[in-house]
Chain A
Amino acid sequence: MGKIEWAMWANEQALASGLILLTGGIVGVAGQFRGWQFAAYAVAAGVFVCLLEYPRSKRAKGTSVERTGQYCFTVCVKAFGPLTRNYYVRAFLHAAICVPGGFMLATVLGCVCLGIASLIYLAAAIRGEHWEPILPRKETRKPVAQSIKNPPQNPPPRPPPEMRRKQAGDLEKSAYDNPMSVTDDE
């Protein structure tokens, strides 16, 4: 838990808006509604928004949870550099994309939802957030410590031999429990 990163909510909202825009567009085109050209645009815009918003950003604080299979999308989105990194660009982009959706009822809902996502992105941008790709961590070999070159000369300190020797008289203390079965009949 920590301070709210608005971009996370904006991302969910934008992804949902993309899907709604896409659905409204498909309905408009399939039903051959008046103004179906706007619906066709909405299909394309919806797909574009979904592709852009699918990869989650890495969180500034805390663990980031990836969406399934987002790695390829991360790579594509990362390739656009500052255009996708900056949330001001995203806010204005979404605001611009959503406008043609307002000209037809089937896509109006997608338009309004995307508009809201754009506003949340604007809030995120004002707070200084930006998009970071989630990349798999590279395993770095730990450099060999200096102490490995000088082995110890003396054995480690041990309690006196009387205590070390297993007390044969006390069966309880000298027996130990195997965590896994070591007999072969199971």
Chain B
Amino acid sequence: MANCIVNYGFSAFILFFYTRHLLGSALPWARAPAAVLNFNCMLILLPVCRNLLSLLRGSFVRCSRTMRKQLDKNLTFHKLVAYMIALMTAVHTIAHLFNLERYNNSRQGLDDELSTALSDLADTENTTYLNPVRITNLDPQQIPTYFAFTTIAGLTGVVITLALILIITSSMEVIRRSYFEVFWYTHHLFIIFFAGLVFHGAGRIVRSQQRTNPPHNTTFCKDHPDDWGQIPECPIPQFAGGFPQTWMYVIGPMVIYLCERLVRFIRYMQRVQYKKIVMRPSKVLELQLIKNGFKMEVGQYVFVNCPAISQLEWHPFTMTSAPEEDFFSVHIRSAGDWTDKLIEIMKKVPEGAEGPKLGVDGPFGTASEDVFDYEVSMLIGAGIGVTPFASILKSIWYKFKDSDPKLRTRKIYFYWLCRETHAFEWFADLLQVLEKEMEERGMGDFLTYKLYLTGWDQSHATHVMVHFDKDTDVVTGLKQKTHYGRPIWDKEFEQVRKENPTSIVGTFLCGPEALGKVLEKKCAKYSDVDPRKTRFYFNKENF
């Protein structure tokens, strides 16, 4: 037993003794980031497996709200892991630059006698090499470069680092927000990245010392390199490379991601029928579609692909229909090449005919699913962010009509902020219908909505002044008058708190970051530590 420990401890000690003599601390400086990279490359694929996340979200319904909220921040996590990969790649590469330089110097015989002896060990019948740099008859300055491009590790290393750099530069916010196609296509270099990563260790050039019989006593033999193979204490040391391990880390997520893409392909092949194509004012296209076996929840989104425009592009759109309806709809606004072309094609489709073939992937879940879990909800939609709330409001109406017992919500405050109502007449129509229904059932105070036009000008003001005493609002035709300018959130939160002194209020935002920060602060400010009083929970959608 003691023998065992001594032997194991012994061999652990000598594993990298000679390698360390050649390289100093640069080898662990390279291997440590490599270990971190293994772990991070495993993690990076997981947050973008949307189907997996939706599955997890669904199974966490029993668990707390907090767990599910973490899944909403998947893109933030993906970016953090990416930064870590970039940093570790930098450290790993720099350490290997030092390693190569030192290996090269040892091979050239510039270091001490032991190093030269170690480097001279070659791969023959009874010796194995330690120093992977074997070549000596090239210009010494070019040997590291030659080595980098002729070994598996070197070549894969250069290629995947280059792929990583291209992925990172095309993922900068400026490029991503303006030229999504460049970002999306360049990001697919990750395939090269993972392929290279898996083969990076295949050359097995990180060599550790193997047990020989009789054992090689490094403490004594390091001072007698000339006697190796000639005295019994010092047989020629044998070295071998370690088994490559990266594939063990990344194979799981790679398979999962492959399944995700497969699922997307299968969904692409499934037939999507058109129920209705409606051209709304201000270049908004509404598509009502039917797909076999398609089940959605409120506020979810789908990816749409139109092979007639582009085979490879999938664009996300929030669904604007309620789960209770027998179709699903999306409202697509003209916002770029793809959407413009889609609207043009749809305009040319004659009445009642089927449109071009579409692929629909999804549905994928987001925070809006939680709206009905709160007794009181504050929904804030800014601009195009009002779309998920169309789905929610419609669903409320259906649930109310059917007196759904699962509906915990008893009060909803809806705030709609936009510069001008042009692109959203369709939404104003929806609100009108809801308003009428609520009045008919005497449930006028279930939904309180406030509209804020933040882009008003003098002509607006004049128009309103002249018609100030009309019952309905001149701009939207709704009973609730339109407010001008931005809401004063302190006042709104005060009002909600006053009207609901003991409830948990869920605040949902779909809109710009800046507004999100403001609302988060207000939620914290107006929440009470006392669990019997009002508490505000903040949720933000992101696209």
Contact = CB atoms under 8 A, between A and B. Distances in A.
Contact of B169 (A16, A112, A180): A16
B169 A8 contact: no
B183 to A, nearest CB: 9
A108 B96 CA distance: 14
B488 A9 contact: no
Contact of A8 (B98, B140, B174): B174
Interface in A67-89: none
Contacts of A157: 466
Interface stretch (A27-35, A125-133, A141-149): A27-35
Given A20-B165, A180-B488, A4 B179 contact: yes
B168 A109 contact: no
Contact of A179 (B94, B337, B488): B488
Contacts of A4: 179, 181-182
A104 B141 contact: yes
B182 A12 contact: no
A38 B407 CA distance: 71
A13 B169 contact: yes
Contacts of A137: none
Contacts, number: 91
Contact of B178 (A8, A106, A113): A8
Interface in A142-186: 157, 159, 163, 179-180
Nearest to B144: A105
Interface in A33-55: 33-35
Nearest to A109: B161
B140 A34 contact: yes
Given A27-B97, A31-B98, A34-B104, A12 B166 contact: no
B90 interface: yes
Contact of A104 (B90, B145, B162, B335): B145
B228 interface: no
B336 interface: yes
Given A23-B94, A106-B97, A113 B488 contact: no
Interface of A: 1-5, 8-9, 12-13, 16, 20, 23-24, 27-28, 31, 33-35, 56, 59, 62, 65, 102-106, 108-109, 112-113, 116, 157, 159, 163, 179-180
Interface of B: 90, 93-94, 97-98, 100-101, 104, 140-142, 144-145, 148, 158, 161-162, 165-166, 168-170, 172, 174-175, 178-182, 335-337, 466, 469, 488, 491
